[in-house]
Amino acid sequence: QVQLQESGPGLVKPSQTLSLTCRVSGDSITTSYYAWNWIRQPPGKGLEWMGVIAYDGSTYYSPSLKSRTSISRDTSKNQFSLQLSSVTPEDTAVYYCAGSAGLRVGATERYEYDYWGQGTQVTVSS
């Protein structure tokens, strides 16, 4: 059974970099052809796909966030990470990591992903 667990600070100051990690258990993040995504949900809004790192290490980002987003992985720890720079209060959201069998670039429906973390609230405020 694959499980995902997000971790990171719940409060980030404006202009700083938001950093989150998703630890994966039950399978390797290098298993063909899985992909590991970051998705967020601002208060009162729908899901927003942010980016993905595939089993082979290739990355894809939302065009609207690409200039501020970086996704990386640590295969020795079986985890992947998100960095979002220059945050503003508009980046306040519940952040989720999600796994999918195959790439789901831009997907924003829960059913399109096979595994989800429980989500972590991140608030951007001074």
The predicted structure's pLDDT at residue 3: 97
pLDDT, tens only, 9-18: 999 999 999 9
Q: How far apart are CA 106 and CA 50, in angstroms?
A: 8
pLDDT, tens only, 55-107: 999 999 999 999 999 999 999 999 999 999 999 999 999 999 999 999 999 99
Are the CB atoms for 43 and 124 separated by under 8 Å? no
The number of helix segments (H) and strand segments (E) in the chain equals 0, 11
pLDDT above 90 as % of the chain:
99
pLDDT, tens only, 103-122: 999 999 999 999 999 999 99
Q: How far apart are CA 60 and CA 17, in angstroms?
A: 19
Q: Which of 24, 23, 27, 38 is nearest to 94 (CA)?
A: 38
Q: Token pair of 91, please?
A: 């980046």
pLDDT, tens only, 46-61: 999 999 999 999 999 9
Q: Token pair of 42, please?
A: 């601002």
- List phi, psi (to 5°) of 14: -55, 145
**Helix, strand, or coil here: 104?**
coil
